[in-house]
A and B are shown apart, each in its own frame.
Chain A
Amino acid sequence: MPVPILMPALSPTMEEGTLAKWLVKEGDTVSSGDVIAEIETDKATMEVEAVDEGTIGKILIAEGSEGVKVNETIAILLEEGESVDDIDEAAMKNGAASGGGDKTDTKQADKKEDGSKPEPLKEEASAATPSTAPAKPSQDSGPSQDSGKDAPKPNGRIHASPLAKRMARNEGIELTALKGTGPHGRIVKRDIEQAMKDGTGKAGAAAAASKSSGAPYQPPAAGIDERLYPADSYEAIKNDGMRKTIAKRLSQSFNGEVPHFPLNIDIDLDTLLEARERINAMSPPKGEEGFYKVSVNDFVIKASAMALKKVPAANATYTDDAILRHKHADVGVAVAIDGGLITPIIWKAETKGLLQISAEVRDLAGRARQKKLKPEEYMGGTFAVSNLGMFGIKSFSSIVSQPHGAIMSVGAAEERAVVRKGQIIIANQMTVTLTCDHRVVDGAVGAEYLSVFKKMIEEPTSMLL
């Protein structure tokens, strides 16, 4: 029996993803473990492996399709001796019916008719073939989803002709990005044809490019008042999965759920800088095996983890029922990447030495920039560190990334005029800000944590205690 290949859940929280690329085509033979496709989630691009061996019978979701639901059938695998004709409609439908990239009105009708008609399926399958539909945003799938998805405008539905909707779906064009020239602003065929010519609203293009920030596309963008920003006065960069996630999660945290408050502290760095110099001086020469170069940030990560162990109340997550005090300090390190940021995690950082932390950060950051992180490498964590010191930022206050209880924002290390015992002296200092989720980290807890952290940075040897 033909086996449906389902959209995998690449992480426990993944609900949908973008089918970024097919690495096989219909008719290809695959064996278990072969990489058949690349899936882009909100933060990373992942490879999908075949679990069975067989022949790719049909590809149902075109590459570039966004918002493909987990467990949706993305392709059909044929076992030995089977042909495309063996593909069971039910199996096909199962895939499409679960909210698929390619679902059309046709599909709906077929359901009503108990699905006895092969033609629409054929049509749909061919439409899903990458060659004919390079980019098909699956969120424009069913009609019901249509109205939801196509209607970010406050006044509800998008006015488009049935043909325009169908063409937009086929071509991966976001109707919201278009301006209708039909009666009462209805989007009609000529608008889609124009968009195809101009490349307007090409949703799939951004996803398929998968590079990061997405392909620029023609204004006007949806929801923009043209009186404020005339269509030719800006370049609209389509939101990709990461951008949407950043927007959603941080506004949920900052405006929705987490009562934020920041705590500042200045920390002397002279001792640490000396220690760092001595440690780095011990490294084998560059190019030789074992070379290392520990950064101030590595110290910060190490110290933040050690301090979390000392003040467990700060290493905690708020839930409605209970406060979760984490047993390990899993420290997320914010890494700016093209088109956004991602926070890979140094797991059990309190148990790791500086060299290991340094190496891990380098590895994770490198792969984050290529969007090659696995979900388990960036999902979760108990605490986070964000460092903008390299840009000369003196101090800033990050937004807590749930489910963390707090986030540390690290400013630039700089020489400052400091008054000590009535004397003005020159000292290397940095300002650190701890932004706390007040539901779980109260002011005193945050303050205690910062003071412990400060001590560890100002006297690194105390971390040995």
Chain B
Amino acid sequence: MADKSFDLVVIGSGPGGYVAAIRAAQLGMKTAIIERDKLGGVCLNWGCIPTKALLRTSEVYTTMKHAEEFGLKAEKISFDIDAIVKRSRGVAGRMEKGIGFLMKKNKVETIMGEARLKGGNGATPSVVVKTDKGEEKITAKHVIIATGARARTIPAAGLEPDGKFIWASKEAMVPDMMPKSMLVIGSGAIGIEFASFYNAMGAEVTVVEMVDRILPAEDKEISDFALKAFKKQGMNIITSASVEKLDKGKDSVKATIKGKDGKTQEIEVERVVLAIGITGNTENLGLEEIGVKVERGHIVVNEWLETGVKGVYAIGDVVGAPWLAHKASHEGVICVEKIAGKKDVHPLDVDMIPGCTYCQPQIASIGLTEAEAKEKGYKVKVGRFPFQGNGKAVALGEPEGLVKTVFDEKTGELLGAHMIGAEVTELIQGFGIAKTLEATEEDLFHTIFPHPTLSEMMHESVLDAYGKVIHT
């Protein structure tokens, strides 16, 4: 096969890689994208999208179980786990085709295979792609590594998928049966989403978290609120504890959980879900050979996503936290625009990245938590508004939730917003826009929020921070 040359080669077609490729094509670069598995990466095939399909199922299921509250009758409610999984896979499959279409439309050449960087010595390294037809050597002026990440495992402690009892996210997404009991190790966004799904579908779920609260990245008030909500739903949550040992039996696993206080307890579950973190896909890329630095499982880059090796960049999960698709996409755009010499390109500001967890109730946040703000020395003004004060929330039958806002008293800057409750993942962007446009509390006061909507609570929370709340 003839050698090919491009302006830009992107390795990995997840939300970081394919967005970078499209943006590059828009800017007139001759672009290729290399994917070893499926277009769209984990996000689309084994992450964001299929889990949202599953969680939609559990949400509808929960609503059906509460049909009477809405004056409806639904009897003998049940489900078919295979059909649920099939729907989820169908959604992912459909989106994957969409990416293929987008690549064609933007004239991005898609190469299916495994890439490895080679040579360089002062010039941009070339890319060798192992396809099913053999090896293909590609040269490019620029190479973006967007290979993503995968669930962290600790084989030494037995914390790795075993094909039956122990699942990582990928296995948990395509269950062959609905376990009666489940242990979720780790209470970050991924762990909590699976816990929420399986709990809603009827499994007896226990979540073990090492630190003293679940969803440790969220504002403490939100964590506490979530804890109460999950416990009310029957979830068993153990914080400040870790799983010491997993003993596999014939049909179940016995887990030994050791608390920080030294006490141990044993629980027996049918399945275990590992959600103990993320590690970058940095292997077999020839990184060491070309001199790209990898630290703690992630590629080291500067603010412009440059690895330090000429022409080699890295974006998304492979460069580290926060492991979010939208962060990867944004980095892809920044990286490409910087390469293209566009003006008005600015490094990513972590405080501008919203985070969403699609459990029930949903959780969404952006910017600094109250504690982080105080730690940074801000004098803060904090506003809160509960869902039960909002007409739309009550009408939806979702009176459980909270919108919290944190302002810098000195400048009126919206430092952070933290929400829990129905549809907050759809609401958080409003605060994102406010932050990007650098609105102060004044601008938010003067923004007219439509009635009746959940978004009114965002307004009220801001008003509350300044003692002007109307509906409490």
**Chain A interface residues toward B at CB < 8 A:** 104-106, 109, 113, 117-120, 123, 126-127, 132, 161-164, 166-167, 170, 181-183, 188-190
Contacts and interface: CB of A to CB of B under 8 A. Distances in A.
Interface string B429-466: 00000000111111101100000000000000000001
B410 A109 contact: no
Contact of B466 (A120, A127, A188, A190): A120
Given A181-B346, A183-B344, A167 B411 contact: yes
Nearest to B444: A162
A126 B346 CA distance: 33
Contacts of A162: 412, 437-440, 442-443
Contacts of B440: 105, 162-163, 166
Max count, chain A CB within 10 A of own CB: residue among B438, B440, B467 = B438
B204 to A, nearest CB: 48
Contacts of B409: 123, 126
Contact of B446 (A109, A117, A181, A182): A109
Contacts of A105: 440, 442
A400 B439 CA distance: 50
A164 B438 contact: yes
A120 B407 CA distance: 13
25 contacts: A104-B442, A105-B440, A106-B412, A109-B442, A109-B446, A113-B468, A117-B466, A117-B468, A118-B467, A119-B381, A120-B466, A161-B438, A162-B412, A162-B440, A163-B411, A163-B412, A163-B438, A164-B438, A166-B412, A166-B413, A166-B440, A167-B413, A170-B410, A182-B344, A183-B344
Given A126-B409, A181-B344, 20 more contacts: A105-B440, A106-B441, A109-B442, A109-B445, A117-B466, A117-B467, A118-B467, A119-B467, A120-B466, A126-B410, A161-B438, A162-B412, A162-B437, A162-B442, A166-B411, A167-B411, A170-B410, A181-B346, A183-B344, A189-B438
Nearest to B443: A162
A338 B412 CA distance: 40
Nearest to A105: B442
A123 B412 CA distance: 10
The 6 tightest CB contacts between A and B, nearest first, are A161-B438, A163-B438, A105-B442, A162-B440, A166-B411, A162-B443
A109 B440 CA distance: 13
A147 to B, nearest CB: 16
A55 B228 CA distance: 51
Given A117-B466, A162-B443, A170 B411 contact: yes
B442 A106 contact: yes
A contact face: mostly helix, strand, loop, or mixed: helix
Contacts of B443: 162
Contacts of B466: 117, 119-120
B342 to A, nearest CB: 12
A104 B412 CA distance: 11
B395 to A, nearest CB: 30
Contacts of B468: 113, 117
Max count, chain A CB within 10 A of own CB: residue among B346, B381, B445, B468 = B468
A31 B443 CA distance: 43
Contacts of B381: 119
A132 B344 contact: no
Contact of B413 (A118, A123, A163, A182): A163
Contacts of B445: 109
Contacts of B410: 123, 126-127, 132, 170
B292 to A, nearest CB: 29
Contacts of B437: 161-162
A182 B409 CA distance: 24
B279 to A, nearest CB: 32
A68 to B, nearest CB: 21
Given A117-B466, A120-B466, A132-B410, A163 B344 contact: no
A189 B367 CA distance: 15
Contacts of B446: 109
Nearest to B343: A181
A166 B412 CA distance: 8
Contacts of A188: 438
Nearest to A187: B438
